[in-house]
Amino acid sequence: MDIILFDCHTHTKFSADSSMDIREALNYAQKIHLNIITTEHIDFDFPGEDTYEFTADEYFSSYKKYTAANNLLLGTEIGMQPQTALRSREFAQSSPFDMIILSIHVLEGHDIYYPEYYQNKNKHTAYSIYLKTMADLLKKHSFGDVLGHIDYICRKAPYNDPNLYYDEFSSYIDSVWESALQNNIIPEINTRRFADESAIKSLIPIYTRYQQMGGRYATIGSDAHTPDNIGYKFKEALSFLKECSLTPIYFRQHKPVLQH
């Protein structure tokens, strides 16, 4: 744990799905010897009743005083959709974010956390669409720094084995890594699913392939929405990175910094 400086993926009250107070987050992080990057949700045109948007000016004015101690950096997690790419770019460039995570939460107008997207799709079809869309949209979101949770779709996919396997989706995964490398976008190791040994095992060949294609770095993020999840399974994430021959980094003012 000593070499980890920043949990690079956390959500506080500026995200629609979190009510975490920044003071509680910082206090807990300090207790476990971590710093944090808040990465609040921006997901324009999000389906359903929740609005995954926030006002950047309010965000920075509210949290600026907490950044003075250098244990907090301010970022955002932008949901990628074809029709929102330009608006997302304008938002990203409107404020001095330290780090921008790019993610896919919505496909074909459906929140992929819920069953509607998967209706009448087998696993290969659902995952192929997800990965192909990811590779395509990374090219339109080259302003980002980090690709969030490549395995996000696995969290709620209604299949007997929801894990993402390189052997099953090698061409699609290679396309994602090719787009990321061409646009200087670094993948994250998201520890949300690291309680599941089979999930870790399935991800190792995927991130090893990224390294084989020329990747060198990754961020580590808990995706915490509550204080007690900050730093979740970071020891396991460090072992994961070592096995994949990747080096942990974080971003400050969009510049990569080695974790040490």
Residue 245 is given by DSSP the state T
Q: Which domain holds residue 56?
A: 6-258
Q: Is residue 224 part of a domain?
A: yes
Q: What is the mean pLDDT of residues 134-156?
A: 98
Identify the pLDDT of residue 5.
Answer: 84
Question: What token pair was written down for 186?
Answer: 């670094």
Q: Is residue 1 part of a domain?
A: no
Could you tell me the pLDDT band of residue 1, with boundaries at 50, 70 and 90? Answer: very low
- pLDDT tens per residue, range 147-202: 999 999 999 999 999 999 999 999 999 999 999 999 999 999 999 999 999 999 99
CB 63 within 8 A of CB 54: no
Q: Is residue 208 part of a domain?
A: yes
Count: domains in the chain: 1
Q: Is residue 78 part of a domain?
A: yes
Q: With a cut of 90, say whether residue 49 has pLDDT above it.
A: no
Q: What is the mean pLDDT of residues 77-84?
A: 98
CATH number at residue 230: 3.20.20.140
DSSP-derived 3-state class of residue 25:
helix
- In percent, how much of the chain has pLDDT > 70? 98
Q: Is residue 66 part of a domain?
A: yes
Q: What is the mean pLDDT of residues 139-153?
A: 98
Q: Is residue 169 part of a domain?
A: yes
Q: How many C-beta atoms lie closer than 10 Å to residue 259's C-beta?
A: 17
Of 159, 146, 69, 175, whose CA–CA distance to 112 is shortest?
159
- pLDDT tens per residue, range 208-248: 999 999 999 999 999 999 999 999 999 999 999 999 999 99
Could you tell me the pLDDT band of residue 4, with boundaries at 50, 70 and 90? Answer: low
Instruction: Tell me what the pLDDT averaged over the chain comes to.
Output: 96
- pLDDT tens per residue, range 81-126: 999 999 999 999 999 999 999 999 999 999 999 999 999 999 999 9
DSSP-derived 3-state class of residue 70:
coil
Q: Which helix (H) or strand (E) holds 190?
A: strand 186-190
Rounded Cα–Cα distance for residues 229 and 117 (Å): 28
Residue 34 is given by DSSP the state -
